[in-house]
Amino acid sequence: METIRFDELNLSEPILRAVAEMGFEAVSPIQAQAIPAQLEGRDMIGQAQTGTGKTAAFGIPLLQKIDPDNKKIQAIILLPTRELAIQVAEEIRRLAKFMHKIKVLPVYGGQDIGRQIRSLKEGVQVVIGTPGRVMDHMRRKTIRVDHVHTAVLDEADEMLNMGFLEDMETILSQLPEERQTVMFSATMPAAIADIAKRFQTDPVMVRVVKKELTVPEVTQYYYEVRPKNKVEVLCRLMDLYSPKLSVVFCNTKKGVDELVQALQGRGYFAEGLHGDLKQEQRDRVMNGFRNGRTEILVATDVAARGIDVDDVEAVFNYDIPQDDEYYVHRIGRTGRAGRVGKAFSLVVGKEVYKLRDIQRYCKTKIIPQAIPSLDDITDIKVEKALEQVRDMMETADLGPMINIIEQKLIEEDHTALDLAAALLKISIGEDNEDIIDNYEPARSLDDLDRYRRDDRRFGRGGYGGGRYGRGGYGHDDRYGRDGGRGRRRGSVERAAVDYVTGQDMARLFVNIGRAQNVSPGDILGAIAGEAGIPGRVVGSIDMYDGYTFVDVPGKYSAQVLKAMEHAKIKGKNVRIEMAKRN
């Protein structure tokens, strides 16, 4: 596995500084190909998924081309959802942190257009938006495209699935001829290949070619976690399995430093290893780990390469790796010299699909597990403490202690049982606050496939299922993949239970539909935005000419109805209520 550093890529100084501050250690495999191709000015098609570092793969070359003294819009990034717009805008802002004059703005349906117009008027060079809203601004002339030299279509296949084909075409056809057009898509349906043919010139194809890999004999588990609970879950796993030596992988140097601090703060013997350390510090950390003084080594992929320690009992993927190959290398750090090793991966949200791909590609089994509860941890700690007590009773001279206890029992009004219980509590340590409220087992990665097959009931095109056939994450997948605007007339199917999350869903009726020129994305954006719920929890959106049905988790339905009482979608007043038909 060859590594390329960012400073080998001909990047400008402010970008290198930003990347260093973000804690990136090495260029990800897709970046290694995509960045040089774009810096040469070539049009490009990248086949890559979320989590591979694709945002920086197009964001870095794009930022290098922006003239900071020109206040006009120079780059437009189109993407399918509001969440992605916000996420990509944040990543690009971080990359542009030291390019002070560069302004970046996300624009998406559902957000007050007046506010967007005010921001646009202040001078923005990079616009990141959903196609519907970008078109809207182009019509109003609040987005002018005559200075645009770079266009990016991110998750092009998802935009197609969400019914944005025409909008994408209209926008691209109005951009200046002289421009660079970059497209990222996980799959290549015919309509997307056709866009490439019509709107790109001699594009370079970029994707990571997979090598055959042998997966070591390691038992692999995964846990679905919320970002804020990651440290707590890691600690619980450490307590539950208490591996003598373990390696924890993070994707960035910054991640390593932060995690080491958090673990040390909780009393674990943890040290970090990454590329910023001097040889001397590395040696010190590695020596500590070899002789067992350091029990937990927190490392980046690059730094961990040289680790030659045989008795690592467990590997933790604190972050899911950016490349399947990294996963195999990581878990290969345990289970060496004939020992049985364990690997634990923490996945957040959509990353579960990435893990599913890893399982598929590596032909291995990654078993879902419930997050251990505090009671589980207490049981283990009590068990361990009692074991020590037994040892002590067998081996030590307890005479003097017995005298002290007897004295206490006489002086104070306690029983021996009270005293033993209090000592046991002291020995197992403080109770942690129970911040994790869900002990549900994670979903099986194979079941994700099954849910996905169910999706095809709704007329998905035939390009799913392959290595790149992830077919969307979460709700984006359920608009009916007929390549058009989710035409599903006739029977109204009620999704009583969302087949991806298993949640109870409530069906809402909105008195606006295709004939009013709104797209599923507009409705999704408005509902998620107004009610402040994550877009991914919204279920199917069935759009008809004059109305739309939207499934939302039952527990959010009241909140959505209230929030939408006076809301507008694409400037139109709407009425939204519980659907009458089930």
Q: Which residues pair with 577 in a beta bridge?
A: 509
* Cβ–Cβ < 8 Å for 34, 47: no
Closest approach of ligand AMP to the CB of residue 363, in Å: 24
Closest approach of ligand AMP to the CB of residue 378, in Å: 35
Q: Which stretch binds ligand AMP (CB under 6 A): 52-60, 190-198, 326-334, 567-575?
A: 52-60
Query: Does 27 contact ligand AMP by CB under 6 A?
Result: yes
Q: Which stretch binds ligand AMP (CB under 6 A): 45-53, 420-428, 451-459, 553-561?
A: 45-53
Q: Two tokens at 327?
A: 């996963």
490 sits in the region (left: phi over 0; alpha: psi -120 to 50; else beta) called: left
Q: What b/e readout covers 367-397, taking b as 16+ CB neighbours within 10 angstroms?
A: ebeebbebeebbebbeeebeeeeeeeeeeee
Q: Total binding residues for ligand AMP by CB under 6 A?
A: 14
Burial class from Cβ neighbours inside 10 Å (0-12, 13-18, 19+) for residue 16 reads middle
Q: Which stretch binds ligand AMP (CB under 6 A): 20-28, 63-71, 174-182, 445-453?
A: 20-28
Nearer to ligand AMP, 186 or 328 (CB): 186
Closest approach of ligand AMP to the CB of residue 539, in Å: 24
The correct pick among 9, 14, 15, 24 for binding ligand AMP (CB under 6 A) is: 24
Closest approach of ligand AMP to the CB of residue 30, in Å: 8
The correct pick among 38, 55, 125, 540 for binding ligand AMP (CB under 6 A) is: 55
Nearer to ligand AMP, 91 or 313 (CB): 91
Of 113, 102, 30, 97, residue with least CA distance to 66: 102
Query: Does 3 contact ligand AMP by CB under 6 A?
Result: no
Nearer to ligand AMP, 183 or 560 (CB): 183
Closest approach of ligand AMP to the CB of residue 95, in Å: 9
Nearer to ligand AMP, 58 or 549 (CB): 58
The correct pick among 51, 109, 321, 525 for binding ligand AMP (CB under 6 A) is: 51
Nearer to ligand AMP, 52 or 334 (CB): 52
The correct pick among 52, 116, 185, 200 for binding ligand AMP (CB under 6 A) is: 52
Query: Does 50 contact ligand AMP by CB under 6 A?
Result: yes
Residue list 147-166, contact with ligand AMP (CB under 6 A) = none
* Cβ–Cβ < 8 Å for 89, 106: yes
Of 218, 80, 223, residue with least CA distance to 153: 80
CA-CA distance, 397 to 406, in Å (whole number)?
16
CA angle in degrees (0–180, nearest 5) for 465-471-477? 135
Closest approach of ligand AMP to the CB of residue 352, in Å: 14
Query: Does 56 contact ligand AMP by CB under 6 A?
Result: yes
Instruction: Tell me the per-residue interface mask from 474 to 513 with ligand AMP, x by CB under 6 A, - otherwise.
Output: ----------------------------------------
State the CB neighbour count (10 A cutoff) for residue 130. 29
CA-CA distance, 137 to 342, in Å (whole number)?
53
* All residues at 6 or more sequence positions from 104 whose CB lies less than 8 Å from its CB, including other chains: 89, 92, 93, 96, 124, 125, 126, 128
Q: Which stretch binds ligand AMP (CB under 6 A): 22-30, 117-125, 200-208, 474-482?
A: 22-30
* Cβ–Cβ < 8 Å for 95, 60: yes
The correct pick among 3, 170, 252, 444 for binding ligand AMP (CB under 6 A) is: 252
Burial class from Cβ neighbours inside 10 Å (0-12, 13-18, 19+) for residue 561 reads middle
Nearer to ligand AMP, 10 or 573 (CB): 10
Please give the C-alpha separations between residue 573 and each of 111, 511, 569, in angstroms, as whole numbers: 14, 9, 7
Query: Does 54 contact ligand AMP by CB under 6 A?
Result: yes
CA angle in degrees (0–180, nearest 5) for 142-147-149? 120
Q: Which stretch binds ligand AMP (CB under 6 A): 47-55, 124-132, 228-236, 547-555?
A: 47-55
Q: Which stretch binds ligand AMP (CB under 6 A): 49-57, 104-112, 207-215, 550-558?
A: 49-57
Q: Which stretch binds ligand AMP (CB under 6 A): 21-29, 34-42, 223-231, 500-508?
A: 21-29
99 sits in the region (left: phi over 0; alpha: psi -120 to 50; else beta) called: beta
Sheet holding 548-553, edge to edge: 541-543, 548-553, 505-510, 576-578
Residue list 83-122, contact with ligand AMP (CB under 6 A) = 91
CA-CA distance, 303 to 341, in Å (whole number)?
21
Footprint on this chain of ligand AMP (rule: CB under 6 A): 24, 27-28, 31, 50-56, 91, 251-252
